[in-house]
Amino acid sequence: MRVFKFGGASVKDADGIKNVYDVLQKVGYEDVILVVSAMGKTTNALEVVIKNYFDKSAELNSSVQEIKKYHNQILLDLFEDEKHEVFTAVKAQFSELEYFLAHNKSPNYNFVYDQVVSFGELISTTILSHYMNYRGIQTQWLDVRNFIKTNANYRDAEVDWETTQQLISKNVKRKILNITQGFLGADENNFTTTLGREGSDYTAGIFAYCLNAESVTIWKDVPGVMNADPRYFENASLLNQISYREAIELAFYGATVIHPKTLQPLQKKEIPLYVKSFINPLLKGTCVSKGVDLEPQYPCFIVKREQLLISLSSIDFSFIMEENISEIFGLFHEFKIKVNLIQNSAISFSVCVEDKFGNFNELNAILSKKFKVDYNENVTLYTIRHFTENAAETVEANKEVLLKQVSRETMQIVTKEIN
């Protein structure tokens, strides 16, 4: 069995859905599981719905209607007959969303987030499944929440591998095109959970692991894994083959082509991962597989924007020791702030972090009671794997370097734009 993952950009409109059909015609679809994300920017739009819900905004209804309108236009572009059953199916899903918004009693933001954003994937896969059937490809639509079981850590749930393995291996049919949702799971009470933003790749890895799949293919709008993001670097080059180790390193440092958690289950069973173009599906793309000789022969650049550089120093000039660092990291964990770089000296401790949940102000109030806290907002973290001096000079040009750290294979540079 092969596992294919299509992200939001590949199914953002009717032409995208039609292109998925064309891709499957070219590469085959029997004995395939299709893991699909929400359409286009639907997750972002649902996040606006959540904000309006908690703010008790008068805009709540209109924000839902905008999402309805967007999906309805895709339906009208795909299906000639408005009496097709897909219209009823999608309408029912929106009714379920509106019912939740009207009757939910939980004040837990993360819980509400997972219940609401999940409709993006549920609706996109419903439309895609009906369209494939409409075009003559028989599909089985799977509600992934019946297969991937997790704990109740909403927005970043951890997989119950034993239960998930049993459910997937026993209930997924072969010799057919299966279509399911990325990003989602369910806890023991059958409430929806999510696996972290951009977690659809991870979903593909979970299914592949549980089914001993032949391969996983992530279909992107790029030719494969590049040594740099072409939006930020000229002359970016395709990496034809890389090892699991190198791909995990790149993902850990923030390369967005592959979700960091995706490779771990694949590596355990040596299942190859392909990153290919849904625009040119017959091109080879990038293969991620076992092998120590598959390291890139030139520098790889990773960019993480909108970072916070925090410097903590002791108020009384005492050393910052292990117990201080342990306490600091405990607070980072509590406030869900991701640490991307660490540097410390005798009386100071600097970290470059990502505050994706907007908790830094609250954390800062606590840290300031024990430490002198200095910070720079909106800095950029560059990571260069297999760095050279020329590569470093390229990154540092016309920028203020706030921090630099070098190891054997990796250089990290925190910069701020010079106004």
Nearest to 29 by CA among 124, 128, 120, 121: 128
> Residues 6 or more apart from 210 whose CB is under 8 A from it?
164, 165, 168, 169
- Looking at 55-171, list the stretches that DSSP marks H as alpha helix, in order from N- to C-terminal side: 60-78, 85-103, 109-134, 161-171
Query: Annotated binding residue at 120?
Result: no
Q: H-helix or E-strand containing 324?
A: helix 322-334
Say what the alpha-carbon torsion angle 148, 153, 155, 160 is, to the nearest 10 degrees.
-20
Nearest to 278 by CA among 226, 219, 238, 224: 219
Q: H-helix or E-strand containing 51?
A: helix 42-54
Tokens read off for 40: 């286009």
The DSSP secondary-structure symbol of 226 reads B
Q: Are strands 177-181 and 139-141 parallel, antiparallel or unpaired?
A: parallel
Burial 105-139 (b: 16+ CB within 10 A, else e): eeeeebbbbbbbbbbbbbbbbbbbbbbbbeeebeb
Query: Annotated binding residue at 231?
Result: yes
Q: H-helix or E-strand containing 307?
A: strand 300-314
Query: Annotated binding residue at 5?
Result: yes
- The three-class DSSP label of residue 2 is strand
Query: Annotated binding residue at 305?
Result: no
Tokens read off for 112: 């509400």
Query: Annotated binding residue at 409?
Result: no
Residue 388: φ, ψ to 5°: -130, 165
Query: Annotated binding residue at 182?
Result: no
Query: Annotated binding residue at 121?
Result: yes
- Can you say which residues are annotated as belonging to the binding site for ATP? 5-8, 231
- Can you say which residues are annotated as belonging to the binding site for substrate? 43, 121
- Can you say which residues are annotated as belonging to the binding site? 5-8, 43, 121, 231
